[in-house]
Amino acid sequence: MKAWLMQTKVEVLRIFRNPYFVFWSLFMPIVFYFVFTNIFNTGMGDSWNSRFLMSITCFSVMGTSILTLGIRLVEEKAHGWSNFMRTTPLSSSVYFSAKMVGQTMIHICSVIIIFVVGAVINGVSLSVWQWLTSALWILIGALPFLAIGTIIGAMNKVETAAGISNFFYMVLAFMGGLFMPIEVLPSIFKTIAKAIPSYHYGAGVWEITEGGTPSLLNIAVLTGYFLLFVVLSIYIRRKQEVVV
Amino acid sequence: METIIATNHLSKRYKNLWAVNDVSFEVNKGELLAVLGKNGAGKSTTLLMLLGLVKPTLGNILILNKQPQERAVKEKIGVMLQEVSVIDALSVKEVLLMFSSYYENPLRLEEVLEITGIPIEMLKKRAYKLSGGQKRRLNFALAILSNPQIVFLDEPTVGMDSTVRKKFWQAIQFLNDEGKTVIFTTHYLQEADDVAKRIMLFNQGKVIADGSPLQLKSHLSDGAISFTSDQVDINLLQTFSHVISAKITNQRIVLTTTSTDALLGELFEKKVVMRDIHLHRARLEDAFESLTVEGGSVNESLVDANESRSITDI
């Protein structure tokens, strides 16, 4: 328990002290949000402002899940950390769960900061219930992306991991309609969007801002992807262990 | 004596290469053991197997009568691996406290600092900003903060300057005096010779020698005497009873012998005129060479090495 608490604290500290996290997961989404809603006046009004606020929060949390988690895991392996940790009594389940909890704490902070920015800069106003359920959706819906992070984390080189994860991150964000509504894009994009998790991640929370609830399809697709990525991640790790 | 490590026909194969090939040995409590060998000799692989990080292909290991992967074992060992760069974004103090939280009975921070010689000012520094030598010291601190029974050190002094290195070995000596078992790998022969009470020499995946530094050196009892002289017949020297061979190298007469003491006596007795006499003693390096290199000329390396001692020092 002592080790678990310490480990969680350390994970949170490490992420906050990481300039890449602060830049990519907090600063960039806020800049995007500001630029997209104020400088390019889209004239889409309040509902667009609140919808886009949710998109950008999804974008931020997705980034932390894939990039921060994935690249960090690769770094730990490349620097001999993972091996060294295995010589200590710290069990891998404590290590892993502390990482997940640390990661979730960071997500909570990102969500709060971005929500506050939205409310202050653009006067986005939602009911308390909507704010809370949106936050909850974004936190829980991040699971498939955390699982992607652990797959990225199975890679051996930091450069490869950074390149690949950034690529997937941007593709997922764009194709999922987190930057612009897929309705304004050619229909082929709509078809693709409906097959990838990032769209359903966003769609669930857009529903909430419009007074609805995430559809069962959103939940089913995210759950499906989560299970798929977890199985894949475990499979890759098993295979790597055999080599040792 | 209490056996705390036992390996039995330990072997590890990577593809077609047996990195470790049928190695059996025991380590008793309180030993200070150097595992010596060239790169690729199998010493690091053996160490990684002892730590439970690499699975043996064949054979088995018992540490404190348990499997190396068991938590109870990890509680009682301390490890310093090669090329572990310290965790990012944390200060030295945070790293130390984090690791302390993993163990049931860790040393107090002050004790760790005292043993490792980490100055208080270093605690606030971010771990990744440390110099190479400081990082090694932090890694050393991580290896001992659990108050372990066994300390494993993989090439511990790489990257340390001579002052730090000296202090490091003093700390190891201190831990060993306290009854801790210390096992380190090195390719610095001098280090093994100076520090270890027992040396295991690895070559091509096998243990080819195992004993005290003295025993290993006596494996090769030849020493040599060299001196300068204008009036000596080398053919005559060749006939001396304690001379194995006589030759002239760099204007010095070099006599190899099984006993430098006896040969000196003989030289004085026969009133050979000598100036600038040097004694060359067998060194571990030579034992190492002769054991690992086939057909190498041991006697030449004795003289070429600048390890000679002037007779006035003796």
Residues of A with Cβ-Cβ distance to B104 under 8 angstroms? 89
Q: Give per-residue pLDDT as tens, A157-167.
A: 889 999 999 99
Cβ separation B89–A18 shorter than 8 A: yes
Q: Give per-residue pLDDT as tens, B141-167.
A: 999 999 999 999 999 988 788 888 888
Average pLDDT rounded to a whole number, residues B161-179: 91
CB atoms within 10 A of CB B110: 9
Strand order across the beta sheet in which B223-228 lies: B243-249, B252-257, B223-228, B275-280, B309-310
Q: B101 vs chain A: nearest CA distance in angstroms?
A: 5
Would you call A75 an interface residue with chain B, using a CB distance cutoff of 8 Å? yes
Task: Report which of A63, A56, A64 is spatially closest to residue A34, judged by C-alpha positions.
Answer: A56
Q: A26 vs chain B: nearest CA distance in angstroms?
A: 18
Q: A73 vs chain B: nearest CA distance in angstroms?
A: 12
For residue B298, is pLDDT > 60? Answer: no
pLDDT of residue B313: 34
Q: Give per-residue pLDDT as tens, A67-108.
A: 888 988 898 888 888 888 889 999 888 888 888 888 998 899
pLDDT band at B306 (very low <50, low <70, confident <90, very high): very low
For residue A225, is pLDDT > 70? Answer: yes
Cβ separation B81–A83 shorter than 8 A: yes
* Gap between the Cα atoms of B43 and A141, Å rounded: 48
Q: Give per-residue pLDDT as tens, B232-255.
A: 788 888 888 888 778 888 888 888
**Which pTM does this prediction carry?**
0.77
Average pLDDT across chain A, whole number:
89
For B94, which residue in chain A has the nearest alpha carbon? Answer: A10
* Gap between the Cα atoms of A55 and A62, Å rounded: 10
For residue B308, is pLDDT > 60? Answer: no
pLDDT of residue B283: 66
Residues of B with Cβ-Cβ distance to A91 under 8 angstroms? 71
Distances (CA, A) of A163 to A70, A160, B229: 11, 5, 72
| Residue B85 DSSP symbol | P
Strand order across the beta sheet in which B77-80 lies: B77-80, B150-154, B181-186, B32-37, B198-203, B206-211
Q: Give per-residue pLDDT as tens, B245-284.
A: 788 888 888 888 877 888 888 888 888 888 888 887 766 6
Cβ separation B74–A88 shorter than 8 A: yes
What ipTM score was computed for the predicted complex, to two decimals? 0.80
pLDDT of residue B153: 94
